[in-house]
Structure 1
């Protein structure tokens, strides 16, 4: 479980931070016995802790997606095969499929897994100009789904003679949201068919057939690869709760202050305050916050009084 991996990682960081704090506190309280504090000796240990916290925060987005489900919106013009693609990915008929443009008028939300990763996939109304009030509501919901998605599957018909409308629609979607461009109905298209959009996707582009299933495995792989979560295993420590993310962010902020204090050669007691604050912040995850642990660590590491 990722939770167990996070607990182990947080405990490891807390132990290293407690050791660093104990070093500073020991030199403050027992300088006559163990000598003055050497700031240069502390710097590599402090930098290592900051780097490890940065790595945890970098994967936090993936952690939230794994906990809540990756939101994938299927977006495209009417009648390009969006509902057929949804059914193909789910392996069952969940969306109504007809040859009539505008059949899907509301957002359909379903869940499935790709290699253990929870996916919340949304089939949306085809985006086009429409005077139908109900269809306009569906189109607005499709736009909103695109804005809220972690990933957009932009679907177009490989056989459509004019792809300029597809290009305009693609350009209107949120720039910051990763996209996989899906040329559908490959079973009807020759290899030499014009694929004007296949070079437009930040997250890759591919040809599929929702009817025959051709290319679906590649599409599933592209979804995970684009989101950079395909190599996250059970042993990877992931921050999946907002309070844990906040705790790590707070700990990192205090460590950055400690680094500045170290470089500026401020009094060690101010350095100790920053380190103690960072350690207490991590205690939100580990449950450690007692002064007794610090005292025991000082005597353990420095054999004071022995």
Structure 2
């Protein structure tokens, strides 16, 4: 239980109909009660809404609706109060100022959720899922986040921990109580298949996580080509809006233009780039350099050709530049000709101007990254990069344990790697997470969360 009472605005700052201010801590109800003019909040029914006015005796700030959540039946498992007031900048700031004057302090970013975690209401994976719910931009992202929030990731972690502990416990019993004749003598021969089974399960979770990561984080797709092949037109066509300026003048796009495209559940971060060519124009040259860096950082390159003319030396250079990248070749202006044909690689032909072939291009992007994968209603996927990194570390520790077995080391040496794996998997839920990690994770939350 935290000693200090904290306050924070849970709604976004700005002009709005309503704002919600949260107060949490031992003295939350008492502090709000001093400033609330209405029923005594210490005796109102829990989780009810009470109407009144907020302010000091000689100055009313606003009429408010107040909800009281006595411990432990609250978001933080502490005494908690939510004040619904009118929107705007001044009302909420004045209410917070008075609450601080009467004993509360301003909450740090994410401190309400941190307290929920520290007080055992949620684990670390559920806390991260809260931010994923808030930040979701596609339905698939939201579904993925909700599965983490309801504890599906925690259940999978607990299952792995239980299996590891059973193996570790069997080793410990053999080491500590060798005189017992009725217990199974644990040898490397017995341990090896158990560890291999667990390693296979981790490998399966890691394989699934690639789909989860794509859904959670999206992909970066850069549109590349020589000047005037219709890159900006393609961007506009994919988005269904006029995001980029389109003219017949080569070199119109000189800097990166970024936009987000929801492709059937995949959030695609589209980047339109300057046409790549040799130039003496300083500004255009900077844009081209940025385009090349965007190619290096991209998950996918959409390399655009002009189907109204034959392949040029510059097209060939771009093919070589993007050879090692995951890419889709796009033949634009198919309504004006069909002069580009590469025998060794498929080309998706489109007319960005007339929106022909765009559905086929979208389907190809989806196929490249997700194939036929879908989020099953009851399936939880590891999607967070931190979680995936931990799973990879656990798999590595299990590999070390199997190496120790192959080298015929005693079981107590094998146990060292198994204990390491158990400690690592606990970092996902926060069971074994260091304080520095907690500070980093919760600092990304908003003040009122």
**TM-score over 0.5 for the alignment?**
yes
User: Per-residue displacement from partner, 1:170-205 (whole Å, max 9, x unpaired)?
Assistant: 2123x332000000111222xxx33333643xxx53
User: Per-residue displacement from partner, 1:104-126 (whole Å, max 9, x unpaired)?
Assistant: 11110001211111111001111
User: Does structure 2 conserve the Cα–Cα contact (< 8 Å) formed by 1:167 and 1:197?
Assistant: no
Aligned: 1:195 with 2:195: no
Aligned: 1:225 with 2:370: no
User: Does structure 2 conserve the Cα–Cα contact (< 8 Å) formed by 1:6 and 1:236?
Assistant: yes
Q: Given the superposition, is the C-alpha separation of residues 84 and 161 from structure 1 closer, same or farther in structure 2, using an over 3 Å criterion?
A: same
Partner of 1:184: 332
CA distance in structure 2 between the aligned counterparts of 1:59 and 1:145, rounded to whole angstroms: 27
Aligned: 1:100 with 2:243: no
Q: Secondary structure at the match of 2:262?
A: strand
Q: Given the superposition, is the C-alpha separation of residues 106 and 27 from structure 1 closer, same or farther in structure 2, using an over 3 Å criterion?
A: same
Offset at residue 70 of structure 1 (A): 0.8
Partner of 1:118: 267
Higher RCO, 1 or 2 (CA under 8 Å, sep at least 6)?
Answer: 1
Partner of 1:206: 348
Q: How large is the Cα RMSD of the aligned pairs?
A: 2.2
User: Does structure 2 conserve the Cα–Cα contact (< 8 Å) formed by 1:111 and 1:120?
Assistant: yes
CA distance in structure 2 between the aligned counterparts of 1:162 and 1:245, rounded to whole angstroms: 42
CA distance in structure 2 between the aligned counterparts of 1:198 and 1:11, rounded to whole angstroms: 52
Q: Secondary structure at the match of 2:279?
A: coil
CA distance in structure 1 between the aligned counterparts of 2:403 and 2:395, rounded to whole angstroms: 12
Runs (5+) with no aligned partner, structure 1? 290-306
CA distance in structure 1 between the aligned counterparts of 2:390 and 2:306, rounded to whole angstroms: 47
CA distance in structure 2 between the aligned counterparts of 1:195 and 1:275, rounded to whole angstroms: 57
Q: Given the superposition, is the C-alpha separation of residues 93 and 198 from structure 1 closer, same or farther in structure 2, using an over 3 Å criterion?
A: farther
User: Does structure 2 conserve the Cα–Cα contact (< 8 Å) formed by 1:73 and 1:151?
Assistant: yes
Aligned: 1:84 with 2:228: no
Higher strand share: 2
Q: Secondary structure at the match of 2:153?
A: helix
User: Does structure 1 conserve the Cα–Cα contact (< 8 Å) formed by 2:304 and 2:331?
Assistant: yes
User: Does structure 1 conserve the Cα–Cα contact (< 8 Å) formed by 2:311 and 2:340?
Assistant: no
Aligned pairs, number: 281
User: Does structure 1 conserve the Cα–Cα contact (< 8 Å) formed by 2:333 and 2:352?
Assistant: yes
Aligned: 1:8 with 2:145: no
Runs (5+) with no aligned partner, structure 2? 1-142, 433-449
Alignment of 1:6-45 (within 5 A): 6-31=153-178, 32=180, 33-45=182-194
Q: Secondary structure at the match of 2:348?
A: strand
Name the stretch that deviates more: 272-281 or 3-12.
Answer: 3-12
CA distance in structure 2 between the aligned counterparts of 1:35 and 1:64, rounded to whole angstroms: 42
TM-score, normalised to structure 1, is 0.83
User: Is the radius of gyration larger for structure 1 or structure 2?
Assistant: 2
Alignment of 1:141-180 (within 5 A): 141-173=290-322, 175-180=323-328
Q: Given the superposition, is the C-alpha separation of residues 231 and 141 from structure 1 closer, same or farther in structure 2, using an over 3 Å criterion?
A: same
